[in-house]
């Protein structure tokens, strides 16, 4: 197994743990066990837990922005973007009731090393920017500050729907909340 494989295996195992139980529950010894090395070896690839957490969050943001960028390029994305976007936050619930990595890390905010906090903020910013871009497409004459505020609110509301659905262990709570957002007009 090459170096890169071990590093990738560490990130894959760690990602699942964070989305299942949060940054605090991420354990170097457990990651090592899942990968088949010793915990000291995990420290070789990621010197501190903060380094690993920040790397996970950075990759997570990159994956999402890549996907969202593709959506924006679709000719008729204006019609279906809301569905595609909410599905991104629905899918981890389907996968063993997991959560958005940034959402669960936001809850752990004061426990996070600063390098991890920074990546959480970047994830939030990337989502708000994308949502604002979509809203602007749909209403080109709307006030920029108002668009920004609505984008933030949509992101917060979807994260909240995911949080509550997870707390209840009931994905229907997510669907019902999102539907109510749509009815209210918060979500186009």
Partner DNA sequence: ACCTGAACACCGTTCAAGT
74 binds a second copy (CB under 8 A): no
107 binds a second copy (CB under 8 A): yes
- Paired tokens of 167: 């707390």
Stretch that binds a second copy, among 3-11, 14-22, 46-54, 69-77 (CB under 8 A): 14-22
CB 152 within 8 A of CB 87: no
87 binds a second copy (CB under 8 A): no
Contacting residue, 10, 101, 126, 158, with a second copy by CB under 8 A: 158
126 binds a second copy (CB under 8 A): no
- Paired tokens of 56: 């996970």
Nearer to DNA, 101 or 134 (CB): 101
Nearer to a second copy, 73 or 183 (CB): 183
Q: Which does 62 bind (CB under 5 to 8 A by kind): a second copy, DNA, none?
A: none
Q: How far apart are CA 44 and CA 73, in angstroms?
A: 40
CA quadruple 92, 95, 99, 101: dihedral sign: negative
How far CA 25 is from CA of 22, 96, 99, in Å, comes to 5, 16, 14
1 binds DNA (CB under 7 A): yes
- Paired tokens of 65: 């922005």
Contacting residue, 37, 106, 133, 171, with a second copy by CB under 8 A: 106
Q: Give the nearest distance from C-beta 175 to a second copy in angstroms.
A: 10
Nearer to a second copy, 80 or 109 (CB): 109
Apex CA 151: angle with CA 147 and CA 155, to 5°? 170
Q: What are phi and psi of 186, to 5 degrees?
A: -65, -40
Contacting residue, 20, 43, 88, 160, with DNA by CB under 7 A: 43
């Amino acid at each position: 197994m090459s170096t890169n494989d071990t590093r990738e295996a560490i990130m894959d195992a760690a990602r699942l743990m964070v989305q299942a139980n949060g940054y605090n529950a991420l354990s170097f010894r457990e990651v090592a066990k899942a990968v088949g090395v010793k915990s000291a070896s995990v420290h070789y690839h990621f010197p501190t837990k903060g380094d690993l957490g920040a790397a996970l969050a950075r990759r997570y943001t990159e994956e999402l922005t890549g996907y969202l960028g593709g959506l924006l390029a679709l000719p008729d994305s204006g019609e279906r973007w809301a569905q595609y976007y909410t599905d991104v936050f629905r899918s981890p619930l389907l996968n063993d009731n997991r959560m958005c990595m940034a959402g669960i890390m936001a809850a752990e905010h004061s426990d996070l090393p600063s390098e991890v906090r920074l990546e959480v903020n970047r994830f939030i910013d990337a989502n708000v920017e994308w949502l604002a871009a979509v809203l602007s497409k749909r209403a080109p004459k709307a006030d920029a500050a108002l668009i920004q505020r609505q984008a933030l609110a949509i992101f917060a509301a979807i994260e909240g729907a995911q949080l509550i659905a997870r707390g209840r262990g009931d994905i229907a709570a997510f669907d019902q909340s999102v539907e109510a957002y749509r009815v209210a007009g918060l979500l186009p």
